[in-house]
Amino acid sequence: MKKYKISLLVVMVFCFSLFGTNTLAGAPNPPLPIADDSILSQHIKEADETTGQDTNTGSGIKTGHIQDGAVTTPKIVDGAVSTSKITDGAVTDAKITGPISGSKLGTHTHSGSDIADGSVATSKIAAGAITPDKIGFYSNAIIVAPSGGDFTSPVNAINAITDASASNLYLVKIMPGVYTLSDNAFMRIPPYVDIEGSGKGTTIINGNGIMLHYYPPSTTRNAELRNITITGQHGPADGYGRLIQVSSGKLSIFNADINSISPVMQGLKPPPCVSVDDSTVILNNVNCSVSGLSVAGMHMTGTSTLKVLNSSIVTSSTAPDNINWNNVVLVQSYAVNNVIMVNSLLTAGINTVTYNGDVSNVKLVNCYDGNYNSIPNR
């Protein structure tokens, strides 16, 4: 019996030393330490596909077990992350490096606001990719230059155009230089042709009488004359003429100087800068200057419209006292026409817009007279 009690006491001491006092008292025993690298994949239970679990519930590895930044690119198999696994808006610009190939983007379109200014470099545009119908401008360009161009005469260049159309637009580009037209030789602008110089005072055309005539069918597009200086005087044949005559349609003149002058002793009137006949003419950043006998800055007939924007019409008479041709007229009108002038210098003043003394069809906004006094808006 004594031997039995001793054996029982030895067993109790062994258990006490093995499990500790917490076990004997009924408290949970702390987990045994796990040696490094002792848990194998087979010891981790597969996830049970139940959502809403945390690291203390369910099976498998939870998001909370993965430290931020712990999953690096080499750990992700190509194609393993499908679209459904990425939260909307989760991939920001900062997360994307390097170019994205077209095959990854698929077929789609972009509006102009999607493309930053200057972001499409020339090297990204294939040769021949931009055709005339994509840019809506010229299919042909003719170069006029003192040497090295297609023509040396702007008249010959324009006369050579025979196939201009709505789908075959032309630009006549006149390079720097002074081009003098022979008497009564003028540039007759055909429909669907624009004329562009190389700048005011840089491309200069001199001549007499009508130097430029625009007379298209009324159904054609508007034409444009820009970046040029035109200087002329009376036409020998009729003693009057017009530097620019527009007989139908609409002509826009932009960034130009138009100078008309006639020597007084020849007794001939200087031609108006522009004659507007049953048509519409728009002047924008244009300086018109007329000096001589019986001066008229503009001439209008028929049912016409003249718009003068950010421009000047400078008219002055140089007639001696013994010649009674010293009337100075801003716009000489022979029919009911509309005249609109905005932000412009009008040296002859509003009262010299003549149509039987009626200026009711003249609209003015922020204009000045020859003394730089403000002309009342009307």
Residue 343's pLDDT band (boundaries 50, 70, 90)?
very high
Pairing of strands 367-368, 374-375: antiparallel
Q: Are 209 and 181 in contact (CB under 8 A)?
A: no
Q: Are 352 and 341 in contact (CB under 8 A)?
A: no
Measuring CA to CA, which residue among 303, 297, 293, 229 is closest to residue 264?
293
Average pLDDT over residues 157-177: 92
Domain ranges of the chain: 176-375
Answer with the residue of higher pLDDT: 26 or 165. Answer: 165
- How far, in Å, CA of 116 to CA of 135, rounded? 19
pLDDT for the residue numbered 122: 76
263-287 pLDDT, tens digit each: 554 556 677 788 888 888 999 999 9
Calculate the alpha carbon distances from 137 to 72, 134, 144, 158, 163 in Å: 53, 8, 19, 18, 16
Average pLDDT, the chain: 76
pTM of the model: 0.62
Q: What is the CATH number that goes with domain 176-375?
A: 2.160.20.10
pLDDT for the residue numbered 195: 94
Answer with the residue of higher pLDDT: 217 or 213. Answer: 213
Which of the given ranges, 31-40, 172-181, 217-226, 306-315, has the highest pLDDT on average? 172-181
